[in-house]
Amino acid sequence: MAIVLVDAGGTNIGSVRYALQRLGVDAELSADAATIRAADKVILPGVGAAGPGMARLRELGLVEVVRSLTRPVLGVCLGMQLLCAHSEEGDTACLGLIDAPVRRFAETPALRVPQMGWNRIEATRAHPLTEGLGEEAWAYFVHSYAVPVGPWTLATADYGGPFSALVAQGNFHGMQFHPERSAALGARLLQRFLAL
């Protein structure tokens, strides 16, 4: 099985690659269109801001490549947000593969932004990625922007209100949290993605 990590400059690429290696999978890091199109599974990692993330995909000529993929695709953190329609961060048009907006958390005296740390995720609908997700499903988050709950939502977390922690639309999937930093739960969810 050929797994490709899109080399779009995300600073979490190394840790995602290492998490896959711990599962016995050696993912290829590539920005080559033909390699990405030929992959059995594609992972779009990302840490940073939506505007520069989309600019990097455009510079590499990968916007239409990612949009054309028919095999399972997983966006991680910013990678998930880039799969969505639009981000408030920099008023950025994203890939439009998951018909969802990305909005900034409303900061309050009781709610620090970004959210940094562990948060419980809860399945909201049946899907191979959420199978067996129990009450004690905790994942590690670092983000200031989030996708609201909608028809794309597979699992939610709560930070001043519910938001989408895990999403899917067609063959495109996203994890707002960092599976590579989410211990056994993260490893299990990566394995489930690889099994799709």
pTM metric for this prediction: 0.96
> Is there a catalytic annotation at residue 77?
yes
What does the pLDDT read at residue 144?
97
- Residues 25 and 88: their CA atoms lie apart, in Å, by 35
Structure tokens at 2: 């050929």
What does the pLDDT read at residue 170?
97
* Residues of the chain below pLDDT 70: 10-11
Structure tokens at 149: 């709950």
- Residues 153 and 103: their CA atoms lie apart, in Å, by 15
What does the pLDDT read at residue 8?
83
Q: Which of 59, 64, 77, 122 is catalytic?
A: 77
According to DSSP, the β-strands at 84-87 and 92-93 are antiparallel
What does the pLDDT read at residue 14?
85
Angle 13-22/183-195 helices, nearest 10 degrees? 80
What does the pLDDT read at residue 159?
97
* pLDDT per residue as tens digits for the range 47-59: 889 999 999 999 9
Domain made up of 3-195: CATH architecture: 3-Layer(aba) Sandwich (3.40)
For residues 159 and 112, is the Cβ–Cβ distance under 8 A? no
